[in-house]
Amino acid sequence: MPLTRERIDELLGKIGHSRVLIIGDIMLDEYLLGVVERISPEAPVPVVEVTSNRTNLGGAANVAANIRALGDESILIGTVGADDAAEKLGGLLEQRGISREYMVTDPERPTTIKTRLIAHSQQVVRFDREKRSPLSEQIEARILDRVRSLIESTGAVIISDYGKGVITPTLLKSVTDLCNEHGVFIAVDPKETNFHNYRRVSLITPNHHEAGFAYGRKILNEEDLHEVGNGLLKKLEARSILITRGPQGMSLFSTEHEPTHIPTFARQVFDVTGAGDTVIATFVAAVCAGATLPEASVFANVAAGWTVAEIGTATISAKQLRKEMTGHMKDGRLEAPVGDAELSGK
């Protein structure tokens, strides 16, 4: 049956009462904003006159911010450098009500910084300052100790893998084993080059390019989509896979339901930066509140539709999510055609 206003109110009323661990690559996002009025005489490139700048949480830190914005407690675990960027990042976390105490300082690695130069609402170029080598065994052990100390009081774990070296195969396996041992929902926002390591998790959220690459078949039509989705589900022994498909919405494959397809709720797209962070955070928050996997997919899709209409990384609150879902309702039900199955999956 489709999502009714009563069911949406019930689930939104329960969001905000869980603790979620976010483990992964912590980043600082920097934005330089300006205008272009001429081409450089030195090279055929635009001259951007920078008029303002701002910093924001990126990578796993943005996932944590999304979880916190929805009302749940965010515990962010990862590494930062012994540098000024780490201090800036810590200040931004505290402004969002997220503790910095579980981050591990690694003096051998700088804090990852992504700097985006934007003119007239268009990204001109991005600079990355980072070190992508795998963590040392000592730092990895310190991260795992933090996870062990918190796992029994945790509602869910999110692995935010941006391929910067924090999510090593041994750390991933240890965290997955801990979650399965304690019955904790574990979701992975994947990096395609590490895909074969994401085994026995509760949820994986690749986009259609990542999913096709991981399975070895490009998704060009519905037949490809089903083969890739169901194939990855079996290959990785996962509970569910949510494939994000841009303008075509999302498709959920799980061991508990028939495939479920949800069209996009985006009215306009300005910036997809951080949209994947919003998807996985909203999905997990909904699951912690008692949503079924198909219901959580709809929540995530609505949240993503709002996020991509914003410039830069954006977080959606439970209040805004309610407003967005209400705006898509007709006759007291959320308008969301689902293709292969009803939202209940039955």
d(CA 132, CA 27): 12
d(CA 271, CA 285): 23
Helix or strand run (H / E) with residue 48: strand 46-59
Region of residue 49 (left: phi > 0; alpha: psi -120 to 50; beta: else): beta
- Check if the beta carbon of residue 245 is closer than 8 Å to that of residue 207: yes
Contacts of residue 294, defined as CB under 8 A and 6 or more positions apart, other chains included, come to 252, 257, 260, 338, 341, 343, 344, 345
Contacts of residue 31, defined as CB under 8 A and 6 or more positions apart, other chains included, come to 53, 54, 55, 56, 115, 116, 118, 312
Helix or strand run (H / E) with residue 140: helix 137-150
- Check if the beta carbon of residue 315 is closer than 8 Å to that of residue 276: no
Q: What is the CA radius of gyration of the chain?
A: 20
DSSP string, 254-296: ESSS--EEE----S--S--TTHHHHHHHHHHHHHHTT--HHHH
* β-bridge partners, 206: none
Q: Which residues are catalytic?
A: 277
3-class SS of residue 75:
strand
